[in-house]
Chains A and B, each alone.
Chain A
Amino acid sequence: MDEASLIAAAQKGRMDAFNELVLAYQHQVYNLAYRILGDPASAADATQEAFISVFHSIARFRGGSFKSYLMRTVTNGCYDELRRRKRRPTTSFEDFGERDEDANPALVNGHEGPEEYTERQEMARVIQAGIETLPPDQRVTLVLSDVQGLSYQEIAEATDVSLGTVKSRLARARGKLRDYLRSQGELLPARYRLEYVGSEE
C-alpha cells in the first residue's frame, strides 16, 4: 500500500494503516527530536506525542507532504519542550554521564578501525554540543536541513516561515556552528579541525 492509501485508511480510523506510517517515519522523527533536544528520553516523548497528535488530527490532513506535516508536528513539540526547559531549567539525568546515543556499534563502518570509530563518535558528540548552543529557531532549521535533508520549501512549511527566513536562519546556524567548532580547536580530532580552512583569513 502506498503512502496516500495508508493516509486515507488512517483517516478512516484504521490503526494498522497509521502504524505503517509510524514504522516508516519513526527513525526520522526520533532523530529529528533527538538532534533538537539532545536528550534520548525527551526525544522519545516528543516522538510518541507527535504520532499521537498526528493520528488525532489526520482527519484534517488535506494532502500535501505528509513528511512535512509530521516534521512540523514533532518540531512544534520540540519547541514546546525547549520553552518548558527555558522556564524551568532542570538537569537531565543523562547529563551526569556521557551520552552514548551516538555510540552505536552496529553502525561501525566496516572499513574504519576502532580509533577512527572513536574519533567519529567524539566528533558527533562535539557537533551535537554545538547544535545545542544554537537558538531554537536556528537549531531546528539546521537539523531539518542538514540532518534530515529537507529542502528550503519543506523547512518553510514545517516551521511556518518564509523561504527568506529559512535561508537566513540556516546561514546563521552554520556560521555559529563553524565558530563553535573553531573555538574547540585542539579538542577536535585532527582530521576534523577547521583551522586549516580558516587560517588563510
Chain B
Amino acid sequence: MARLFRQQATERERRDELLSAYLDGQMSAEERARLETQLATDRPLRAELEALRHIVALVRDLPPVPIPRNFILPQTMAAHPRPVPPPRHRRAWAAPLLTAATAFASLLFVVVLAGDLLLLGGGGLFAPAAEPQMEAPRVAVEPSLVGETVEVEKVVSEEVEAEEVAQPGVMPTATPLPMPTAATAEAERYNMGTPEGIDATVPALGSGGEPIEEDTAPASPVAEAGAVAPTAPATTTATMEKYAGDAEPTASAVAEVMPPPEEEAGAVEDGRGIPEDETSGLAPVTLWRVLEVTLGLTVLVLALVTVWAWHARRR
C-alpha cells in the first residue's frame, strides 16, 4: 500500500516537473510536441497544467512590498573597502583543528593508561596505595639501618650476652624465630630470595639479635630503631621481620659505600642517599601519575574548548 502511494507521488512529481518546464519553455521541441499531444487527449493533465499556470500567475501578481527605508551605505564605509573578514570566518579553522588535537590527546591518554596497566600492573591511578606500601618502608628503613647496623649489632650482642647470662637455657641459634606460620613462610621466602652475600650476614643478626625478639619481650629500643617501629613488639608483624632481613644485608653490603650516620642527614639533603631508592621505586609511579593526570586534564580542557569552538562557528 505504502509502495503504491510512493509510486503515485513519484509519478505526480514527474508530471509536475514536465508541466512546470513546459510553462517556462524549458523543454526541447521533441518533448514539447509529445506533451502537447498528450494534453490534447488527457483532460486531468490539462487541468493540472491550468492549476500550475494559475499558481504561477498568482505568485507573479504578488504586489511588490515597499521598502521600509533606503539601504544606501554611509560614505565613511568607503575608507575601509576591504575590511577583515567577519570573526566567524577567521575562526573557522579552529574547530576542526581543536577536534584533531582532542582526538590526539585522547589517544595519547589511552596509550599512557594502557602502558600503566601493562607495565606497572595498574599501579598508577587505579591502585594509588599499592606502590607506596611496598616502597615507602624500604626507603625509610634502609638509611636508618645503614648507619646504625654496627651499633645495633654491638648492642644486640651485648644484650644477648646479658640474657645468656640470665637465662642459660636459651640457645642462640640462627634458626628463625617462633612466629605465625604465614609470617614464617614469608620470612623464609625472603631469606631464600636473598643472595649469598646477604645470607652470610643473616646469621650475624640471627645469632646476635633474634633471641631478643621472643614474643615475651618487646624489642629493645636500640634494635627497634633499626626496625622502624620503636614501640612495637618484634613479633607483631612479619613485615618487620622481612624488612629487618632485607635491611640487614643491604646495610652490611652498602656499609662502605653509604655515608656514616652523622653524615646521613646531609647526604639525604644533598640527594645522595634517598634519590637512588626513589628513582628505582617511587619516581616512575609518580611520573606515570603526573603524566596521566596532566593528559586527562588536557583532554578535558581540549574537549570543552572544542565544543565551544563548534558552537561559536555555528553562530
Interface residue A1 (Cβ < 8 Å from any Cβ of B): no
Q: Which residues of A contact B70 (CB under 8 A)?
A: 22-23, 26
Query: Which of these, B13, B65, B77, contacts A15 with CB under 8 Å?
Result: B77
Query: Which of these, A13, A104, A174, contacts B16 with CB under 8 Å?
Result: A174
| Chain B, interface residues (CB within 8 Å), range | 35 or more
Given A59-B82, A124-B62, A152-B26, do A198 and B47 touch, yes or no (CB 8 Å)?
yes
A178 touches B65 (CB 8 A): no
Given A56-B81, A174-B16, do A51 and B48 touch, yes or no (CB 8 Å)?
no
Query: Which of these, A15, A44, A121, contacts B78 with CB under 8 Å?
Result: A15
Interface residue A76 (Cβ < 8 Å from any Cβ of B): no
Query: Which of these, A56, A120, A123, A128, contacts B83 with CB under 8 Å?
Result: A56
A194 touches B81 (CB 8 A): no
Interface residue B63 (Cβ < 8 Å from any Cβ of A): yes
Interface residue B66 (Cβ < 8 Å from any Cβ of A): yes
Near B by CB (< 8 A), chain A positions 47-78 give: 47-48, 51-52, 55-56, 59
Query: Which of these, B44, B63, B71, B83, contacts A48 with CB under 8 Å?
Result: B71
A178 touches B55 (CB 8 A): yes
B67 touches A26 (CB 8 A): yes
A55 touches B73 (CB 8 A): yes
Q: How far is the CA of A26 from the CA of B73 in the complex (A)?
A: 12
Closest chain A residue to B79 by CB distance?
A13
A147 touches B78 (CB 8 A): no
Interface residue A107 (Cβ < 8 Å from any Cβ of B): yes
B56 touches A146 (CB 8 A): yes
Query: Which of these, A19, A22, A59, A147, contacts B59 with CB under 8 Å?
Result: A147
Closest chain B residue to A199 by CB distance?
B47
Q: Which residues of B contact A142 (CB under 8 A)?
A: 59
B71 touches A26 (CB 8 A): yes
Total inter-chain residue pairs, C-beta < 8 Å: 140
Interface residue A95 (Cβ < 8 Å from any Cβ of B): no
B63 touches A124 (CB 8 A): yes
Shortest B143–chain A CB gap in Å is 66
Shortest B146–chain A CB gap in Å is 71
Kindly name the residue among B21, B62, B69, B70 whose own CB sees the greatest number of chain A CB atoms within 10 A.
B62
Interface residue A40 (Cβ < 8 Å from any Cβ of B): yes
B48 touches A167 (CB 8 A): no
A15 touches B43 (CB 8 A): no
Query: Which of these, B65, B73, B83, contacts A101 with CB under 8 Å?
Result: B65
Interface residue B12 (Cβ < 8 Å from any Cβ of A): yes
Q: Which residues of B contact A201 (CB under 8 A)?
A: 44, 47-48
Identify the 6 closest CB pairs spanning chains A and B, nearest first.
Answer: A171-B20, A171-B17, A15-B78, A146-B59, A175-B16, A197-B51
Binding site for A on B (CB under 8 A): 12-13, 16-17, 19-21, 24, 26, 43-44, 47-48, 50-52, 54-56, 58-75, 77-78, 81-83, 314
